[in-house]
Amino acid sequence: MSFGPEYFLDRDAATARILAHARLLTKISNQYATLVPGALARASRVANYKLGKVVIYADNGAVAAKLRQMSQRLCDEFSKKGTECNEIAVKVQPSEIPLQSSTSSAKPLSANTFETLQRTSSSLPAGPLRQALETLLSRALKRE
């Protein structure tokens, strides 16, 4: 018989509290998605909930300003749905773009390109350009 992660998380008191908080955040996030218009929901997210205070992260200042204008109505709507809400804090926290921070991969030079650069380097007089080309060629990956 295999057990899911929730089985093990529920067995310890400390992790059970974390799991309960995660479930509460999921519930509040789902409520939030139904309360705000689609464009605002896509540009913001529920970050935390503690003692009646819902913390929302907005992707930019314009979204944050609109959510701050709506905060009292959102509090009332959360309360109607069964979530105690005394205050809504909106903070600007842009969401991460996973492809934006990816590292580049090494791309090999073809044999023809490598030979051309080698000929060019050998025909240049001694100097910074020739040294740069020789460094490039010594570090370059060669495609067979």
Give the contacts of 8 (CB within 8 A, at least 6 positions apart). 15
Residue type, 33: A
Tell me the C-alpha distance between 113 and 110, whole Å. 5
Domain ranges within the chain, ordered by starting residue:
9-92, 106-144
Q: Where are the beta strands (DSSP E) in 39-118?
A: 44-50, 53-58, 87-92
Residues of the chain above pLDDT 70, percent: 87
Q: What is the pLDDT of residue 114?
A: 86
pLDDT in tens, 75-133: 999 999 999 999 999 999 987 765 655 666 777 888 888 889 899 989 989 988 889 98
pLDDT number for residue 49: 96
Q: Which CATH architecture has domain 9-92?
A: 2-Layer Sandwich (3.30)
